[in-house]
Structure 1
Amino acid sequence: MTEFEFEQQVTALTQKMYRVSASLLRSPQDRQDAVQECVWKAWRKLPQLRDESLFTAWIMRILVNECKRLCHSHWREVTVEEIEIEQPDGMDNRLRDEALHTAVMQLPEKLRLAVTLYYIDGFSLRETAHILHCPEGTVKQRLHRARTTLRVLLEEEV
């Protein structure tokens, strides 16, 4: 992969990288640090990437590890005002349903990260499993537990 290709890939993934870091880190400065450090580490370790088609999952794994390193294994919650996601049809980039977002942020970190990667960022089960260093069955189980928990949390809201 050339420097130009690397730059294009990273540019295309920047928004996803910030969303993933936002699901793990509260401080915008920590998010920026995590993304910047991730890009730097990915560039340094680029020769270790065996299959360029796995670049996205590879760099997201680096990002998750960097976020974990930054928060010293103490996961933090993010407020609704601090996270933006891409909405279809040119709508406002804020989450449409604050109750859902609040409920998602109440999930344990493992479930929240699986939900963010799979549902918000659109990674496949295989890619999510690769990023999280776990089997696909574990990802399915975490997503199921997250949906069940969200259902209970949202029923309490109503």
Structure 2
Amino acid sequence: MDDTSFFERTDQLKRRLYRIAFGYLGNENSALEAVDEAIFRGYGARKKLRRKEFFETWMTRILINVCKKELKRGKRETSVETIPEQAREQYDALPLKEAVRRLPEELRSVVVLRYYAGLTVAETAQRLGIPQGTAATRQRRALELLRLELKEDLE
């Protein structure tokens, strides 16, 4: 894949990639950085892509890996003091966003791709490399967990 076609294709994907990253990381700045990092990594590895029709799936997978790495890094870091802006974000956090963030990784990835990126069950399964039935089951389980958790928050 040449430089021009790579950048044209990534420009078309940026909004979707951002929604996915935001769903994983829950922070605008982190999501933007993750998208930039994924595009950078994709650019470096663009010649390894064998089938151009899988470009979107390939870039989504790179982004998911970047987000997972960022989440692991964030867990290892311990902050001595909370920055006021971060405290305000925590106070303003929506219960749904927090509930999604607390889902197990395999369930969260399905929710993020389905509802933040707007993919179908089939597209979600393809991006994650799992059978379509598994994606549907994970979606159902995730929604049940979210429903239970949000119901508890309201009571």
TM-score when normalising by structure 2: 0.72
Change (3 A) 1:80 1:57: farther
| Residue number in structure 2 paired with 1:124 | 120
Bigger helix fraction: 2
Q: How much identity, in percent, do the aligned residues show?
A: 32
Q: Distance between the aligned counterparts of 1:128 and 1:142, measured in 2?
A: 11
Paired position in structure 2 for 1:56: 56
C-alpha separation in 1, matches of 2:91 and 2:7 = 30
After superposition, the CA RMSD in angstroms is 2.9
Post-superposition CA distance 1:43-102 (Å, at most 9, x none): 122222222222111100000011112222767xx86968xxxxxxxxxxxxxxx55445
Conserved in 2, the CA contact under 8 Å of 1:24 and 1:67?
yes
1:50/1:125 CA distance change after superposition, 3 Å = farther
Q: 1:112 aligns to what? A: 108
In the other structure, the counterpart of 1:88 is: none
What TM-score do you get using the length of structure 1 for normalisation? 0.70
> In structure 2, how many angstroms separate the alpha carbons of the residues matched to 1:99 and 1:17?
23
Q: Which amino acid aligns with 1:3?
A: D
Say if 2:17 and 2:35, in contact at 8 Å, map to a contact too.
Answer: yes
Aligned partner of 2:49: which letter?
L
Structure 1 residues 125 and 26: CA distance shift in structure 2, 3 A = closer
SS of 1:122's partner is coil
What is the aligned residue count?
141
For structure 1, list consecutive stretches of 5 or more residues without a partner in the other structure. Answer: 83-97
